[in-house]
Amino acid sequence: MMKVYKLLFLAVALMVGGFFSSIGVPAGWLLGGLLTGIFYGLFIRAFDFSGWPFQMALAMVGINIGLIMETDLFQQLIHYLFPLFITLVLTLLTGLLLGILLDRWTDLDRRTAFFCTIPGGASEVIAISSDYGADQRIVASFHTARITMFVLIIPFGIGMVYGQGNMDMQPETLLIPTTLQFSFFAIIILGSYVLNRLISFPGGILIYSIAFGFLGSEFIVNIGEVPGYVSGIGQGLIGAMVGIRFERSTVERLKSIGLASLKVLGLYLLCSLGIAVLFFWLTPLSYLTSLLSTVPAGAAEMASTAVALQIEPTLVASLHIIRVISIFIVLPFLFRWLMRA
């Protein structure tokens, strides 16, 4: 029976996402799914989509990114590595500073405060926080609030400025995917999932699906133009699965932290806007692309936003994956230093 309720919820989320997109709401699929998830989590019931359901949705988004990926992306990435390094260091320092402030402003222990503000992949940070002695429930609540805040504010704000909110609803999106396209997606989703189980790392399934989507369409088979709503469905599923994490217990735990949680989240947003300005000055990219590429809001969520708004999705996804992996490489050293300090 639980599976039926979950499927019904996802169907409602996709209907809302499709409706939002059809009326021109910026990143309509993503925001529609997100708002539906938040509403369900707060007022109806919460569901757990961690594990393979979220990975399947993420792989679906990754394939769509791979399909529009171009070979000159690799040359572009070389030029952006130094600016990315600078902004990555600043992002890490921002996370450390906010963790120290959260430690001082609340009665949380230092480990929990530190993991609440790590600007890495939320799912991965939550998963390993208990191994370091942090309160996993508080860490999960804080990261859920952070991701929800960014995914709510940034797509809508950028869409209003950029004016691309309805780009994913074109007349051809009413076409039915061909058998070849359906098989292409199914094989890559399954292959990415299996490979991620064998060789797992932060953002792994997103990397695998992007790579397989690019290599498969570029060198193996021409699957033609995929209907636009296929990408929208992936975005809607991501939004729904992220939004439903923001349920009543999350609100209650944030209340237990008090006003300090709102202060830290607000500072997180302001610092992210400022770091994006620096990346914009150091690269030829627009500020909107710079913001999507550097904001610590999760590779999956920002990649979905970039796809929805058609703002350099392959570049945005690549830079976020580099950021998340880099943070997890230095995380043990940062933790030891903070505990000594």
Q: Copy the structure tokens of residue 164.
A: 């691309």
Place of tokens 């208990």: 130
DSSP state for residue 121 in the 8-state scheme: -
Residue 1, exposed/middle/buried by CB under 10 A (0-12, 13-18, 19+)? Answer: exposed
Distance CA 165, CA 183 (A): 29
Containing 294, the helix (H) or strand (E) segment is helix 287-294
Count other C-beta atoms under 10 Å from residue 173's C-beta: 17
Structure confidence by residue, pLDDT tens digits, 8-57: 999 999 999 889 888 877 667 877 888 899 899 888 888 888 778 888 88
With b for 16 or more beta-carbon neighbours within 10 A and e for fewer, the 58-79 pattern comes to bbbbbbbbbbbbeeeeeebeee
By the 8 A CB rule, do 304 and 240 touch?
A: no
- The identity of residue 270, as a single letter, is L
Residue whose token pair is 């996804």: 317
Rounded to the nearest 5°, which phi and psi values hold at 105?
-85, -15
The residues of the chain scoring below 50 in pLDDT are 164-173
Query: With contact defined as beta carbons under 8 Å apart, do 92 and 109 qualify?
Result: no
- Give the per-residue pLDDT at 173: 42
Distances (CA, A) of 338 to 114, 116, 138, 248: 8, 14, 19, 32
Q: Are 98 and 267 in contact (CB under 8 A)?
A: yes
pLDDT value of position 169? 40
- pLDDT at site 162: 58
Place of tokens 């599976």: 3
pLDDT at 279: 94
What's the pLDDT score for residue 67? 84
Tell me what pLDDT residue 187 has: 94
Helix (H/G/I), strand (E/B), else coil: 55: helix
Predicted pLDDT of residue 128: 67
| pLDDT for residue 168 | 43
pTM (2 d.p.): 0.71
